[in-house]
Every structure is written in structure tokens, then in C-alpha cells.
Amino acid sequence: MSIIPFDDRDGVIWYNGELIDWRDANFHVLSHALHYGSCVFEGQRAYGGKIFKLHEHSERLIKSGEILGMDIPYTADELDAAADEVVAANNLVDAYVRPVAWRGSEMMGVATKGSKVHVAIAAWEWPSYFGEEAKKKGLRLEIAKWRRPAPDTAPTASKAAGLYMIASLCKDASTENGFDDALMLDYRGQVAEATGANIFFLKDGKLHTPTPDCFLDGITRRTAIDLATKRGIEVIERAIMPEEMADFEQAFITGTAAEITPLSQIADYTFEVGEVCMNMVRDYDDLVNGRQT
């Protein structure tokens, strides 16, 4: 299957306040973001032409920028309107939406003073990240080599591009080793998250999920907690050690790209793709497609 490169597509991208041709949405090779990681982003999905929890994503982009000392030059309402405009202008119904903010090329060096903050929003058709079949069979994960850093060593509360460098390393290694993804531990050796998604485990009718104190408390994660609560399932946020996975019955990951996807294996630990997982998958699908409030 041929892959269409992301720099050579038809369509438009919202760039610093206006829609421009997709192929013209470029920046200079000496941009601060490229050299020093001064970049934040969001991942959103549109279902039936409507972006799910759009305003929460826009607010988080602004907050991520604040954590990195970047003043995003648009309000959340303005970012909402821009994202909607991009989806409509590209005639998209079900789509992935990527807002990104970065420091430009005015300054070159570690210091950021004087650098302009740019913002762009792109949208394109993108099916389920792991494929629909994975929601039936469950994903296989290995335990990653790299760990999530401590909150006093990196801006872990921000959706900062630089924090995903180790995620890419872990993701690539997992696929080379025959797995779908990787489970990342944190700096203490506790269960943290997958490379781009939060994680939940089922035991004795209760869901257990790591406390997000050094990684993102995802918007889909919070949505999953709400859905589980509506079903009367208790959700416990706590520190989880890897060896506890031997006693968990079911497991799933959550994220805008991953949506809710069950797991069948993490390293030597296996899980049933059972009723609770499948109910969560269906409930989330109903919610994002407007069949449930």
C-alpha cells in the first residue's frame, strides 16, 4: 500500500489565522521548535463532522503552552472556530485533527525571548489507530525500555512534542519485536501508560488505573472514567506495580487516536477481551457518535 506523505496532499491548513494551501504550510529549518523542542500539540477526532470535546482540547493546548512559557496567541474559542473551519473546508466528516503551536525562527539558541509563537491546525481522514480488528482481539504490548520522567525533570503536565521522543523509540521497538505497542513504566518503576494512550485494568469488577502524576491525565481517560461510573463500575486511581498485572483479568487503553481498545497481552501477562472491555468500547463509540449523552 502506498503512503501519501503528509507534505504533499490536497486540502487546506489553518496557519496563523488563515486557511492556506496544504503544501504551503511550512516553516524554516532554523525554527526554535525543531532544535529545542519548544512545541506543543493536540490530537482531536471529528465524528459526523463534529470534533469530540473540542473546547477541552483547545484549553489544554493553551495550558500546555503556558507550562512551556509559550503564550498561545488565540483564545480557546478562536481555536475551536479554527478547528471547525478546517474540518469543513476539507469536506471531512470523520477525521483526525492536529492543532500545533511552536516557536519560530526569530531566535536561534537555548533562550526563547523574541521568538514568535505560531499556530497551525490540520485535519485529515484517519481510521482507527490500531484498526477495528484490534478492538475484538486485543492488542499485544511489550514493556518498554524507556521510562516516563519525573515531574521535576520534565514538563510532564504539558502535551509537549519533546516528551514523545521516547514514545517513538518505544513504539518503533515494539513493532520491530512483533508487538502492537509498548507499556511504559515511570521513573519509579510503576505502570504509567502506553506510548500514546492511558491504561486501565479490571480486577474483581473494579477498574484500576495509574495516578497521572508524571504523564497526561488524558481527555479520553477522563471520559472512560465517566462511562465506567455510569455503569456502576468503581474506578480506582493508584500506583500500580508491573507484577500486579498477573492478577488483572482485563485491560484496555484510552486515547483520542486509540479511542478505547482492549489488550490481550502485556509481556508475559495475558488478559481476556471480556464483557467490561467490550461494553466500554461500545459506550465510547455511542458517545462520540451522538448516540449517548
Structural class in CATH, domain 12-124:
alpha beta
The predicted pLDDT at position 39 comes to 98
Q: Where are the beta strands (DSSP E) in 76-210?
A: 95-103, 117-124, 139-143, 181-185, 191-194, 198-203, 206-210
Low pLDDT (below 70) residues in the chain? 1-2, 293
**What is the sign of the dihedral through the CA atoms of 195, 81, 49 and 227?**
positive
Architecture of the structural domain at 134-288? Alpha-Beta Barrel (3.20)
CB contact set of 252 (below 8 Å; sequence gap of 6+): 199, 200, 224, 260, 261, 262, 263, 277, 280, 281
The predicted pLDDT at position 130 comes to 83
**What is the spatial distance between Cα 279 and Cα 8, in angstroms, rounded to a whole number?**
39
- Which is catalytic among the residues 53, 113, 145, 159? 159
Cβ atoms 262, 252 nearer than 8 A: yes
Residue 44 bridge partners (DSSP): 97
pTM of the entire predicted model? 0.95
Segments of the chain assigned to CATH 3.30.470.10: 12-124
The predicted pLDDT at position 2 comes to 57
**What is the spatial distance between Cα 67 and Cα 70, in angstroms, rounded to a whole number?**
7
The predicted pLDDT at position 1 comes to 45
The predicted pLDDT at position 293 comes to 63
- Number of helices (H), then strands (E), belonging to the chain: the values are 7, 16
> Is residue 159 flagged as an active site residue?
yes
Cβ atoms 65, 57 nearer than 8 A: no
Segments of the chain assigned to CATH 3.20.10.10: 134-288
The predicted pLDDT at position 14 comes to 98
